[in-house]
Amino acid sequence: MSDGARTAAPLPPGWLVCPVRACGESLVLEHARASCPRGHAFDRARSGYWNLLQPQDRAAKHPGDAREVVHARRRTVERGILAPLRDAVLERLRALAVTGPFLDVGAGEGFVAAAVARDLGLPTVGVDLSAFASELSAKSYPELTWVVANGDRKLPFCDHGAACVSSITGPKHAPELRRVLAENGHALLVVNGDEDQRELRSAVLGSAPPTGRAARAIELCAGSLELVSQHSAKWRVRLEGEALVDLAATTYRGARHSQRERLEALESLDVTFDYVLLVLRPLAP
């Protein structure tokens, strides 16, 4: 925590809306219950998050990242490996002089959203498809609001209510990001750069071609968001033992047998982390 850490501002009234199809009324959040004027109600999970995922938005019994993946990512965060990414996001938000509500779509285990609320004092909501991720976020950062929802479909937020929307290697549903973003707001999309984990990719897959994800993200946003600026965050870390196992667990979740054997044979590796930060703004209607 920085010396200038702040207390996150409260959420604006009416920012969260009822996710029930054809409703969309504002949700009133109480201690353990959220309800709308039409009588739809949602109980807060014991761990502190709100599950607003509707049945039609589920693709599996437990959608999103599995518990073991979420906890592997948290251990990676706790080792400080992803601190430069967090710092790069905070630097961009400071440069944009963001003062209003901040929405992190695909928030994972919550370390970036928590840093934004803590260091910038912004009213912040973290959204993820995984209930396991939201559960860990809520237990770790109970002062913030954590929501389970599908960022690839309909987000349970009012039109044009967020001053900034981020997606850090997460969903890139540009029309929906545009809908919830204020007309003078910004979207901050973070994607893996061409050299990201190239050593690990080479060791496991046999090659590490450029990812091209930045260009694809910009293309996906065409018609909804336009690029303002592009920035890079790149660093290299030597990983050994469990640190390497945890990183691999978040990267190769469905690895084939041959790939798992290559992973298990690795004892240590110098790994490059490469991220591209895209700042975009809403296109005029």
Amino acid identity of residue 58, one-letter, is R
CB of 198 closer than 8 Å to CB of 270: no
**Amino acid type, 16:** L
Q: Give the pLDDT of the chain (285 residues) as one tens digit per residue.
A: 344 566 667 788 889 999 998 899 999 988 899 999 999 999 999 999 999 998 877 766 778 899 999 999 999 999 999 999 999 999 999 999 999 899 999 999 999 999 999 999 999 999 999 999 999 999 999 999 999 999 888 899 999 999 999 999 988 899 999 999 999 999 999 999 999 999 998 888 888 888 899 999 999 999 999 999 999 999 999 999 889 888 988 886 555 556 667 777 788 899 999 999 999 999 987
Cα(198)–Cα(210) distance, integer angstroms: 9
Distance between CA 118 and CA 216 in Å, rounded?
32
Q: Are 190 and 277 in contact (CB under 8 A)?
A: yes
The residue extents of the domains of the chain are 48-234+274-282
CATH topology of domain 48-234+274-282: Rossmann fold (3.40.50)
* DSSP summary character for residue 23: T
d(CA 134, CA 47): 9
| Eight-class DSSP state of 124 | E
What span, in angstroms and rounded, lies between the C-alpha atoms of 59 and 272? 33
Q: Spell out the alpha helix ranges (H) of 159-222.
A: 174-180, 198-205, 213-221
